[in-house]
Chains A and B, each alone.
Chain A
């Protein structure tokens, strides 16, 4: 046998690259993820969000203490080796509370997208595809909901549902419906005139098949971008609402509640109490915005070629 030398690993690498290429051609999901992972901002976002997600999933194993555990004689301690983020006003470990708090942030924002995206996109596609009076009625409704800026629509819905973490997630999900609806409708109006839709129709595909198999795939990137931005908004809104006392109630650890408690202790110099949650929140928000940027850059030929 001749010495194959380095050929073997090279061959393997080539085979791997080919496999990735086929995957990218087969699945738009994989293609977008692959391109995002090659963008600088996408990489930063993946690393930060990855850490947050792992911490959220394994919160019980990672957090040094339970979020309600009060440690005797450790009131408002500054960060140290035993309490990297310090302790709060009733002697609880702040790092542990934040790990659980960020889990709630993630869950609420995922919940908001899980409710808002499918309903909103379904409404938008329907309005855009059928057009005429269906479009007019649905879009008037969407416009009306969009007339409540920022978290005001959340305040209306929360009045009806009552306060609490689950209610906040549902509320933000409902609030996200018009955002996805408007976007999906615009995409549909653009796509349904395209030749491939005509071709699919000629081949006898029904509207459901055309929408699900053809249009949905082609309008994926903008909807993914919107999903990342809605998640960022939901993280802020959840923090705002629990800060206002309309979200979770104590002792549940949420970023908003921790900040609300921390505010009055800033005056006596307990800076870590407020600054640690603020830093974590900022990291999460920037990661989500970077993710949106990276998807845009990875999928829009116009931006990519600049």
Chain B
């Protein structure tokens, strides 16, 4: 078990490191001189040179990377070139709104997707199965931000039951905050809910056709016991991996959905960063997002190994 843990975390760490190098190098490919941008339009070449020196842009690439990484590890992401304030402050302000949306969306995906998949898988061809298929088709044709617009139209305009845009902090007015959260939450989570439902359905159907289920039935167990104690436990193990993978798509989905509902957060920040080619900002945000994604997947792998000892051997 120890070596399994070490190898999984080692792999995760390697991917995060490589990703940070990739982002760092990609950002150096951007044409234009950030120092000139930061120094302003009236700056003399000497001013620009001074800024370059201060930012360490004259150092060799390896040293620049090491310095940046060292800063990141201490929570210092450098200074945003377009906004001239520290990136960690910008990110700090955006983390909470985005995290609450991602968590709510994930909650929605799990609460809708898994039960739907279970009911669909227990009776293929039944009512819930049709509902699951219809839901899947719907999410295939309607991507998250489009679903956001549709929700805005139906719930916000026609029925007029939910506020359309903006956000209220959860510690200010919890009830109001939840109202603002409902539509973005559905828009972010629906796609993942459909993926989960489909996967759970397939997993349950497969498990129910296995020998041990037949044995359980043959020895006279009640159908309820067969399903809940024997089939379900085994069927839901592989779901861990799929559910963890969805977190990445939730994060990237939240970036767009936030813009649809004019919520503050990573979305607005990342887009202004791309538009102004603010690489200090972009590389900081992406390293955080990739780290979250990799950590979650590594944890899922480990959890998978914990519940299913066969995995550890490989």
- Report A's interface with B, CB cutoff 8 A: 140-141, 143-145, 147-152, 155-160, 162-163, 232, 236, 239-240, 243-246, 259, 262-263, 266-267, 269, 271, 274-275, 278, 281-283, 285-286, 289
Which residues of B are found within 8 Å of A141, using beta-carbon distances?
Answer: 18
Asked if B277 CB lies within 8 Å of chain A CBs, one says: yes
Which residues of A are found within 8 Å of B22, using beta-carbon distances?
Answer: 144-145, 156
Contact, CB under 8 Å: A245 / B271: yes
Contact, CB under 8 Å: A159 / B30: yes
The docked-state distance in angstroms from the alpha carbon of A263 to that of B271 is 18
The docked-state distance in angstroms from the alpha carbon of A240 to that of B191 is 15
Contact, CB under 8 Å: A286 / B270: no
- Write the B139-164 contact mask toward A (1 if CB under 8 angstroms, else 0): 01111011001101100110000001
Interface residues on B, range: 35 or more
- Write the B30-57 contact mask toward A (1 if CB under 8 angstroms, else 0): 1000000000000000000000000000
Which residues of B are found within 8 Å of A266, using beta-carbon distances?
Answer: 149, 152-153, 157
Which residues of B are found within 8 Å of A155, using beta-carbon distances?
Answer: 255, 270, 274, 282, 286
Which residues of B are found within 8 Å of A232, using beta-carbon distances?
Answer: 140
Which residues of A are found within 8 Å of B26, using beta-carbon distances?
Answer: 156-157, 159-160
The docked-state distance in angstroms from the alpha carbon of A244 to that of B30 is 21
Stretch among B63-71, B105-113, B175-183, B245-253 lining the A interface? B245-253
Contact, CB under 8 Å: B143 / A149: no
Contact, CB under 8 Å: A140 / B14: yes
Question: Which label, helix, strand, loop or mixed, suits the secondary structure of the A interface?
Answer: helix
Contact, CB under 8 Å: B146 / A259: yes
The docked-state distance in angstroms from the alpha carbon of A233 to that of B29 is 26
Contact, CB under 8 Å: A263 / B286: no
Q: A152-B251, A156-B286 are in contact. List 12 more A-B contacts (CB 8 A).
A: A140-B18, A145-B22, A147-B293, A148-B293, A159-B26, A160-B27, A163-B274, A243-B259, A266-B157, A278-B142, A281-B143, A285-B141
Which residues of B are found within 8 Å of A281, using beta-carbon distances?
Answer: 141, 143, 146
Asked if B137 CB lies within 8 Å of chain A CBs, one says: yes
In B227-262, the 8 Å CB interface with A consists of 248-249, 251-253, 255-256, 259-260
The docked-state distance in angstroms from the alpha carbon of A286 to that of B19 is 33
Interface centre among B26, B146, B259, B290 (most CB of A within 10 A): B146
Contact, CB under 8 Å: B270 / A147: no
The docked-state distance in angstroms from the alpha carbon of A141 to that of B21 is 11
Contact, CB under 8 Å: A150 / B252: yes
A-B pairs, top 7 by smallest CB distance, nearest first, are: A149-B248, A150-B252, A282-B141, A144-B18, A236-B143, A286-B141, A285-B141
Contact, CB under 8 Å: B15 / A289: no
Which residues of B are found within 8 Å of A243, using beta-carbon distances?
Answer: 145, 256, 259-260
Assuming the A-B contacts A156-B23, A245-B271, A289-B140, are A267 and B282 also in contact, with contact meaning beta carbons closer than 8 angstroms in the complex?
no
Pick from A143, A147, A240, A283: contact of B256, CB below 8 A. A240
The docked-state distance in angstroms from the alpha carbon of A267 to that of B160 is 10
Which residues of A are found within 8 Å of B279, using beta-carbon distances?
Answer: 159
Asked if B289 CB lies within 8 Å of chain A CBs, one says: yes
Which residues of A are found within 8 Å of B16, using beta-carbon distances?
Answer: 147
Query: Nearest-CB distance from B307 to chain A (Å)?
Result: 24
Contact, CB under 8 Å: B153 / A245: no
Residue of chain B at shortest CB distance from A274 = B149
Which residues of B are found within 8 Å of A163, using beta-carbon distances?
Answer: 274-275
Query: Nearest-CB distance from A242 to chain B (Å)?
Result: 11
Contact, CB under 8 Å: B277 / A244: no
Query: Nearest-CB distance from B243 to chain A (Å)?
Result: 14
Query: Nearest-CB distance from B33 to chain A (Å)?
Result: 15
Pick from B29, B259, B294: contact of A147, CB below 8 A. B294
Contact, CB under 8 Å: B18 / A278: no
The docked-state distance in angstroms from the alpha carbon of A149 to that of B286 is 10
Residue of chain A at shortest CB distance from B274 = A159
Pick from A246, A263, A271: contact of B274, CB below 8 A. A246
Assuming the A-B contacts A159-B274, A246-B275, are A285 and B149 also in contact, with contact meaning beta carbons closer than 8 angstroms in the complex?
no
The docked-state distance in angstroms from the alpha carbon of A289 to that of B194 is 14
Query: Nearest-CB distance from A293 to chain B (Å)?
Result: 10
Query: Nearest-CB distance from B311 to chain A (Å)?
Result: 19
Interface centre among A143, A162, A232, A240 (most CB of B within 10 A): A240
Asked if B265 CB lies within 8 Å of chain A CBs, one says: no
Contact, CB under 8 Å: B274 / A278: no
Which residues of B are found within 8 Å of A289, using beta-carbon distances?
Answer: 140
Interface centre among A147, A163, A240, A266 (most CB of B within 10 A): A147
Pick from A151, A240, A245, A271: contact of B275, CB below 8 A. A245
